[in-house]
Amino acid sequence: MLTSVESEGGLPLPGADASGDELFRMGLLYSTGQGGAPLDYVSAHMLFNLAAMRGSMEAKIYRKELSQEMASDEVAEAQRQAREWLAHG
């Protein structure tokens, strides 16, 4: 489920109870720049990572493909953001 809190790009952030499918769908928005989301690979990777942790097999595939397009410091930042989201969720 999405919360009413918004990200820097103006989109709602996923709530702590978001399902893997919800996180995956949001990751798709950021990875393609559609649905009002900015094209943001770091946010997309973070969301795919969280979705994978919640059981989304598709997210694991997309996360791997996306990480091949990203610099190692971008992947590290996405992982840091995922850990932060988990700590505050």
Query: What integer pLDDT is reported at residue 6 of this predicted model?
Result: 40
**Can you give the residue range of the structural domain that contains 15?**
2-88
Residue 45 · residue 71 · CB < 8 Å: no
Selected residue with higher pLDDT from 12 and 10: 12
Query: What integer pLDDT is reported at residue 56 of this predicted model?
Result: 96
Identity of residue 19: S
Per-residue pLDDT, averaged over 21-31, amounts to: 95
Q: Give the pLDDT band of residue 1 (cuts 50, 70, 90).
A: very low
Report the run of H or E that residue 14 belongs to, with start and end.
strand 12-14
Q: What is the pLDDT of residues 35-87, one digit of tens each?
A: 888 999 999 999 999 999 999 999 999 999 999 999 999 999 999 999 998 89
Distance, in Å, from the CA atom of 71 to the CA atom of 74, rounded to the nearest integer, reads 5
Residues making up the chain, counted from first to last: 89
The total of structural domains in the chain comes to: 1
